[in-house]
Amino acid sequence: MKKLDSSVMVPMQKALSTATLALLMVIGAAPSAFAQPAWQTEWEQVKAKAKQEGKVVVNLPPSPEHRKQLEAVFRQKFGIEVESVLETGSKAVRRLADEYKAGVHYFDVAILTFDRISTDLLPVGAVQPLDPYWILPEVKEPKNWWGGHIWTDNAKRYAYAPAAYFQDNVWYNSELVKPEEVRSWDDFLNPKWKGKIGFFDPRLGGAGQGIWGFAWAKKGEEYLKKLVQQKLVFGDRRPLADSLAKGKLAITIGPTYYSFLQFVKAGLPVKPLPSLKEGTYVSVGNGGPVIFNKHPHPNAAKVFVNWLLSKEGQEISDKTMGQASRRLDVDTRWMTEIGIRGAKDFITVEQFYEDANQTEDKILKVRRPSLEFARKLLD
């Protein structure tokens, strides 16, 4: 076998040594070059601590289907239990405020609007800013949300709005009403509907208060007095939805999709009325996650908040609650079938701020004055 000349060997040895050194440098640099992003390291640490805590305690809107889906998927995904209590916002805040003032710290998170937290929870220091709990980039980055990060409190710290939509929260029994018979709020005054219209009592808060406030601003107090003279049946959302499904009522005003979900699935004759001539307001639904001070499961609460505001969490909320997410990667166009039109599909961000009725300013100018009128008229 022919030996290589030394003039060839020396350069080759030098080249190999240089290549070997370069390889070692790359290998040595690998831990830093390919290290996890800081958020991912934090996320893994928080998930591990949350699993040790074992559960998160959450107050949810009164939708059994929403509760069922959230609990099942969250448990399967993270190995953490969701202990949830279903209550309307108005009932929840009274309980939560009383517990906080008594030194009881049982809940970690509640789904609430600014209207709910501003009177009972913020004044006693029961809630803390939400955004420090965001870890996932898909939640933190404004580019993932229509309109960026929208808050309904002027401080932009406590009341986040993950959803924004027009809700046609007037439903009818299709065996008793033809949609063309009711195309305006004025049509509710037809003697034909006397005693057959149910109204989600605005004194209970929620969507009942929202649509009452819309009518107050759009049609005026004299109109509402005439509407009440139609022998409206005032009540909570669930009994009204049940009465509509059974044909005891022809129309309901206020209860929204998730109150009717079981009846829709059962094939009963309940449908959302197409948008009326006067239009409707832009809703943020039941609001977003609110974090309590001194809550018992801080890491599990972080995991829950991030997951709830993720694509997966928002898709579950859309399907079970009928509240169109502002996430740009969540499809909300299908929701027109259930009387919901996602804000991002129909209007500009500027129109949202004009038509939304749950911002701090609108609460002071519309929701609370209209509620005061309802109490005087109905009590």
- From first to last of its 379 residues, what are the pLDDT tens digits of the chain? 444 454 544 444 554 455 444 444 544 444 444 578 999 999 999 999 999 999 999 999 988 999 999 999 999 999 999 999 998 767 788 889 999 999 999 999 999 999 989 989 999 999 999 999 999 999 999 999 999 999 999 999 999 999 999 877 899 999 999 999 999 999 999 999 999 999 999 999 888 999 999 999 999 999 999 999 999 999 999 999 999 999 999 999 999 888 998 999 899 999 999 889 998 899 999 999 999 999 999 999 999 999 999 999 999 999 999 999 999 999 999 998 887 899 999 999 999 999 898 999 999 999 999 999 999 999 9
pLDDT at 169 (0 to 100): 85
Residue whose pair of structure tokens reads 């990667």 in the numeric block = 329
Q: How far apart are CA 264 and CA 183, in angstroms?
A: 22
Q: How far apart are CA 132 and CA 113, in angstroms?
A: 19
Q: How far apart are CA 144 and CA 138, in angstroms?
A: 6
pLDDT at 189 (0 to 100): 98
Give all domains of the chain, ordered by start, each with its CATH number. 39-163+285-345 (3.40.190.10), 169-279+373-378 (3.40.190.10)
pLDDT at 258 (0 to 100): 85
Q: For residue 363, what is the DSSP state?
A: I
Residue 108: name the closest of 158, 57, 151, 64 by CA: 57
Q: How far apart are CA 105 and CA 125, in angstroms?
A: 13
pLDDT at 32 (0 to 100): 45
pLDDT at 35 (0 to 100): 73
pLDDT at 18 (0 to 100): 52
pTM of the model: 0.81
Q: How far apart are CA 330 and CA 276, in angstroms?
A: 27
Beta bridge partners of 82: 56
Token representation of residue 334: 């299908």
pLDDT at 272 (0 to 100): 92
Instruction: Tell whether the torsion through CA atoms of 339, 210, 310 and 304 is positive or negative.
Output: negative
